[in-house]
């Protein structure tokens, strides 16, 4: 199936859906606080974009997501490493980690807002929390599974801990860790948004609650539109990184 054909079909589908949307709002004479027509929405959106206010909301959420994801990955990998290496830590932390992993970590959001305030910090902390867990668990489980043959070789060559990590452990753990990262990243945006919905002064999630309070569906839709784009963008980045790093699979 040619790629260009798929794109054409996709564009046609999107256009058809937008046309359907327009038709529905017109035929059923739907009030714009309930569902604005596409025309109305895009006019609003471009105006909003031009005022520059939208840009600051976008950058707030982007900051939270990217900084949070970055540090989440770092924390996840560091802790994952230590958990794999220390039996004590593993027995102590693993049960808690697994409980936290399966529970809705978002529940902590109100606490973070209480502790870190309405600003960016609480959301970044939330994203770090959400992102670090899958990575921590993926890495510690991957490290433990590494073929002992590799580690024995390393021993024979008197490699130090850092060398063992970078040359054997990291590459072998890569596959599982990257899967963990993909899972974590998809949740990063959701976490940032939820954090903003629960208490914030800016950001795309904040726009959602603001729009809800004022029954301004245009504002809500703008936020949803941008968040979806962000989600798509992050997903594509992950795909590209995965392909580049795991070229040998």
Partner 1 sequence: MNNLKKTITYTVISLTVFVLVWQLYISIFDVPAFILPSPVTVGKEMINQITQVSFYKNMLYTLSEVLLGFALSIVFGLLIGYFIGKHPHIKRLSMPLLVFFQVSPKIALIPIFIIWFGLGYGSKLFVVFIMSFFPIIESILLGLGNISKEMYEYMKILKANRIQILTQLEAPCCIPYILSSFKVGIIQAIIGATVAEWMAGQLGIGYLQSFASSTFNSPLLITGIAFTILLGILLYGGVTLLEHHFQRYQEVKQ
When binding is defined by CB under 8 A, the residue of 224, 241, 242, 245 that contacts partner 1 is 224
**How far from 248 is each of 81, 172, 207, 236, 244, CA to CA, in Å?**
23, 11, 43, 20, 9
In this complex, which beta carbon is closest to partner 1, that of residue 9 or of residue 152? 9
Part in contact with partner 1 (CB under 8 A); list of ranges 89-97, 117-125, 139-147, 163-171: 89-97
User: Residues 143-182 vs partner 1: string with x where CB under 8 A?
Assistant: ----------------------------------------
Q: Give the Cα separation of 83 and 92 in Å (integer).
A: 9
Q: CA-CA distance, 101 to 94, in Å (whole number)?
A: 10
Applying CB under 8 A, the span of 41-49, 98-106, 120-128, 171-179 interacting with partner 1 comes to 98-106
Whole-number Cα distances in Å, 239 to 83, 133, 139, 205: 28, 20, 19, 25
Q: Alpha-carbon distance 223 to 237, whole Å?
A: 21
95 binds partner 1 (CB under 8 A): yes
Interface stretch with partner 1, choices 66-74, 132-140, 166-174, 221-229 (CB under 8 A) = 221-229
Select the residue interacting with partner 1 from 28, 33, 39, 117 (CB under 8 A).
Answer: 33
Residue 238, Ramachandran bin (φ over 0: left; ψ between -120 and 50: alpha; else beta):
alpha
- Token pair, residue 3, equals 């790629």
Q: Residues binding partner 1: what is the number (CB under 8 A)? A: 51
Q: Choose the binding region for partner 1 from 68-76, 156-164, 171-179, 202-210 (rule: CB under 8 A).
A: 202-210
Residue whose pair of structure tokens reads 């994801």 in the numeric block: 69
26 in contact with partner 1 (CB under 8 A): no
Q: Is 6 in the site for partner 1 (CB under 8 A)?
A: yes
């Amino acid at each position: 199936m040619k790629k260009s054909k798929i794109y054409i079909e996709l564009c046609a589908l999107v256009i058809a859906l937008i046309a359907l949307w327009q038709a529905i709002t017109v035929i059923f004479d739907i009030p714009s606080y309930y569902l604005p027509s596409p025309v109305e929405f895009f006019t609003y959106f471009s105006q909003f974009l031009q005022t520059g206010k939208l840009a600051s909301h976008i950058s707030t959420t982007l900051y939270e997501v990217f900084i949070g994801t970055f540090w989440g990955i770092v924390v996840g990998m560091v802790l994952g490493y230590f958990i794999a290496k220390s039996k004590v830590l593993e027995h102590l932390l693993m049960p808690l980690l697994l409980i936290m992993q399966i529970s809705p970590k978002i529940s902590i959001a109100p606490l973070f807002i209480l502790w870190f305030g309405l600003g960016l910090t609480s959301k970044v902390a939330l994203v770090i929390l959400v992102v670090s867990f899958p990575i921590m668990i993926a890495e510690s489980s991957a490290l433990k599974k590494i073929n002992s043959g590799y580690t024995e070789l390393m021993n024979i060559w008197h490699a130090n801990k850092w060398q063992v990590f970078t040359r054997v452990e990291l590459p072998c753990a890569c596959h599982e860790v990257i899967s963990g990262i993909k899972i974590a990243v998809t949740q990063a945006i959701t976490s940032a948004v939820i954090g903003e919905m629960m208490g914030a002064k800016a950001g795309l999630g904040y726009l959602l609650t603001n729009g809800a309070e004022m029954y301004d569906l245009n504002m809500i839709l703008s936020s949803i539109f941008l968040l979806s784009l962000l989600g798509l963008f992050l997903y594509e980045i992950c795909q590209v990184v995965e392909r580049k790093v795991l070229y040998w699979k």
